Amino acid sequence: MARYLLAIDQGTTSTRAMVFDHEGRVMALAQQEHRQIYPQPGWVEHDPLEIWERTQAVVRQAVARAGVVPADIAAIGVTNQRETTIVWDRRTGRPYYNAIVWQDTRTAAICDQLARDGGPDRFRDRTGLPLATYFSGPKLKWILDQVPGVREAAERGDALFGTVDTWLIWWLTGGPDGGVHVTDVTNASRTLLMDLRRLDWDDEILRLLGIPRRMLPAIHPSVAPAAYGATRPDGPVGAAVPVCADLGDQQAALVGQTCFEPGEAKNTYGTGCFLLLNTGATPVFSRSGLITTVAYKMGDQPAVYALEGSIAVAGALVQWLRDNLGLIARSADVEALAGSVEDNGGVYFVPAFSGLFAPHWDGSARGLIIGLTRFANRGHLARAALEATAFQTREVVDAMYRDSGLRLTALRVDGGMVVNELLMQFQADILGVPVVRPAVTETTALGAAYAAGLAAGVWEEPARLRQYWQEARRWTPRLALNSS
C-alpha cells in the first residue's frame, strides 16, 4: 500500500518539497528560491510562473532523492505563503499581473476608503480581520481596478483568482486542461472575503469590493480526501496522486507542532513571525489587535479556530541587514555579530517595512532605528535586529493573554530563526516562559504531510500524531531578567 507523503511548501522566499514516511520521518527535501520583485517602495511581487517552475523542479528532485516510486506516494499536502494574490487566465494559465505578495502595502488607499464607512473593523465580526493591506481582498480589488481587461475577463468567467495554494493545485491537476479551482478554509480565511462561521464567501463584502463571485475558488476543508483532485501523471510527481490537504503555512505549522487542543500555541520565526493559539471550535474575536482565523478543518469535523498574532518582519530584517546594508555576508552570521557585544547598547529597531501588523494594524508606520549614540556599532545593530523579533513576539503574547485569559506554560517554536541561540534565549527571557523546539523543525511541511496522511488514512486521528513530537531543545528564562 502507498505509504509515503509528499508535502509542497510554497513560502515567501522559497519553495520546498519534502517526502515523509508513515512515521513522519523526513526522507528527502529539495528547496529553491525565487525572485523578490520590488517595483516601488512598499510594493512586493513574485512571478507566479517562476513559482510554478520552482515547484515542479523541487517536486521532481525530492521524489528522486527519496528513491520512492511515485505510485507509492499516498497523498500530497500543499501549504503556502498566505494572502499573496494571483489572477490568471483559465484558458492559457497566463497571469494577468505578478503575484501581489502579503507584505505589499499598495492597497492602503483602498483600505482607508473602505474604512471610511464603519471604521477599520467593519468586517471583523464576519471575517475575523481588520481592514489592512495584508489581506487578499483589497489586493484582488486593486488588480480588478488597475489592470486593463481583468474585470471584463472576470465577468466573462475567464479570469480566476487564487492564493498560491489555488494556483499550484490548479496547475498540478491539469492547468488549462481541467485544473481544479479550489482553496481551503484556512487560506480563504485570509482574504477578508470569507464569513468565518459559514465558511463561505460573503456576498455583501464581495459586492462592496466589486469582486465577481465566479472568479473565486470553491472552499473545501483543509483535510479532504476527494476535494482537490489528483496530479497529472505527466506532471512533476510522475503519477496520479491525490492532493488531499491544503493549509496556509502558519496553520500547517500548528498542525506540525500537534497543537490540537485549545490553549496550545506555536510561534514560527520565518520571513515574518506568526503566533497561533488554538481556541477550539468557536471563533474568539480579539479586542487586543489579534486576528481570528481558521486553524484547520478536518473533513466533516467542525472547523477549529485560532487567534493569531501576525508580525510582518522577523527574518526579513536579517536579510535586509545582509542585502541592503551589507552588514553580514550570510544570514547565519547575524548571531556571531550580535554576540560580539554585551547588550544592545541602547539601540532598538522597529522593522515596520510593511507598516505594523498585530497588534497595531498601522499601514502608515515605517521602520525606525532609535537610540543611536556614537558608541553604537555593527554588533549593536545586529543585536537590536534580533531583539526586535523577540519584542514583537512579547507584544502579541501579551495581547493573547488579554484576549484569551490563558497563560502559556511554554512556547513551541519553529522556523528558520530558531537555530539562533541568542534570539531564543532572549525570547525566553522576555516572555518569562520556556521556549521549546521540536526535533523536526520543518513543521510547516510536516503539518501538510500530517494533514494529507490523515486524509489518506495513513493515520486515523490527529491524536496519533502526538507521539512523533519530541522536544529537542529548551531555553529556560534566566531569573535575573525574568524578575526585572
Binding site for ligand G3P (CB under 6 A): 11-12, 81-83, 102, 248-250, 270-272
Binding site annotation covers 409? no
Cβ neighbors of 402 (< 8 A, separation 6 or more) are: 287, 288
Identify which of residues 12 and 85 has a Cβ nearer to ligand G3P in the complex.
12
Q: Where are the alpha helices (DSSP H) in 116-156?
A: 124-127, 136-146, 150-156
What is the DSSP-derived secondary structure letter of residue 71?
Answer: G
Nearer of residues 36 and 476 to ligand G3P, judged by Cβ:
36
Give min distance, CB of 256 to ligand G3P, in A. 12
13 is an annotated ligand-binding site residue = yes
CB of 415 to ligand G3P, least distance (A): 7
Q: Is 134 within any annotated ligand binding site?
A: yes
Flag whether 249 is marked binding: yes
Looking at the Cβ atoms of 83 and 335, the one nearer to ligand G3P is 83
Alpha carbons 369 and 274: distance in angstroms, whole number: 23
Alpha helices in 224-377 (DSSP H): 249-256, 315-323, 334-339
φ/ψ bin of 124: left (φ > 0), alpha (ψ from -120 to 50), beta (otherwise)? alpha
User: What H or E segment, with its residue span, contains residue 75?
Assistant: strand 73-80
Task: Enumerate residues 6+ apart whose C-beta is below 8 A from 477.
Answer: 428, 429, 431, 432, 433, 434
Tally of CA atoms within 13 A in the half-sphere of 158 that contains its CB: 12
Q: Measured from the CB atom, is 186 or 344 closer to ligand G3P? A: 186
Kind and range of the H or E element at 180? none
Q: Taking phi first (over 0 means left), then psi (-120 to 50 degrees means alpha), and beta for anything else, what does residue 149 get?
A: left
Minimum CB distance to ligand G3P, residue 250 (Å): 5
Give the nearest distance from C-beta 60 to ligand G3P in angstroms: 22
CA pair distance 458, 160, nearest whole angstrom: 33
Least Å distance between CB 83 and ligand G3P? 5
293 annotated to bind ligand: no
* CB of 210 vs ligand G3P, minimal distance in Å: 24
Residue 299 assigned to a binding site: no
For residue 304, list its beta bridge partners: 296
Q: Between 127 and 271, whose beta carbon lies closer to ligand G3P?
A: 271
Nearer to ligand G3P, 170 or 274 (CB): 274
- 286 in a known ligand binding site: no
For residue 78, the minimal CB distance to ligand G3P (Å) is 13
Q: Is 16 annotated as a binding residue?
A: yes
Nearer to ligand G3P, 12 or 404 (CB): 12
Task: Report the alpha-carbon distance of residue 352 to residue 475 in Å, rounded.
Answer: 28
The answer to the question of whether 11 is labelled as a binding residue is no
Residue at 348: amino acid letter? Y
Residue 294 grid coordinates: 481558521
Which residue in 436, 459, 439 sits closest to 449, CA to CA?
A: 459
Q: Which residues are annotated as a binding site for sn-glycerol 3-phosphate?
A: 12, 82-83, 134, 249
Q: Which residues are annotated as a binding site for ADP?
A: 12, 16, 271, 315, 416, 420
Q: Which residues are annotated as a binding site?
A: 12-14, 16, 82-83, 134, 249-250, 271, 315, 319, 416, 420
Q: Which residues are annotated as a binding site for glycerol?
A: 82-83, 134, 249-250
Q: Which residues are annotated as a binding site for ATP?
A: 12-14, 271, 315, 319, 416
